[in-house]
Amino acid sequence: MKKLAIALMGAVLAFGPAMFAQDVVTGVKDLGKDIDKGAKKTAKGTEKAADKTADATKDAAKTTAKDTKKGAKATAKGTEKAADKTADATKDSAKTTAKDTKKGAKATAKGTEKAADKTADAARKTADAVK
């Protein structure tokens, strides 16, 4: 019995590492398969994320272009209205200025006429006094 136990022990020691090594190789092979599966899933997920990002970017670009166009139209409309109001105000100011200039010219003419009359009266009085 002792010899049988020694023989079995020798067989286990002789072939045991080979059997364990085969398990290690199988384990590494399985681990490689798992890593491949994980990498493929990651690649699919990355591809989906990239597609969704591209779609979102396209949508954002379309929305930005649309809103920019609306803003430009609104700005043009507002600028046109402001220009019209400025033109009206300028026209009114010009009329007022012309009207007031006319009044000022009449007043100046009247004052000049009065001054000329006074000068003429003073010249007559001086002439009369000299005689």
pLDDT (tens digit per residue) in 62-101: 999 999 999 999 999 999 999 989 888 888 888 888 888 8
Share of the chain above pLDDT 70, in %: 79
User: For residue 68, how far is the Cα from the chain centroid?
Assistant: 9
pLDDT for residue 61: 93
pTM reported for the whole predicted model: 0.41
b/e 2-15 (16+ beta carbons within 10 angstroms → b):
eeeeeeeeeeeeee
pLDDT for residue 67: 92
b/e 83-99 (16+ beta carbons within 10 angstroms → b):
eeeeeeeeeeeeeeeee
Least confident of 13-17, 41-45, 61-65, 89-93: 13-17
Structure tokens at 105: 């010219």
**Which residues, other chains included, contact 7 with Cβ-Cβ below 8 Å and sequence gap of 6+?**
none
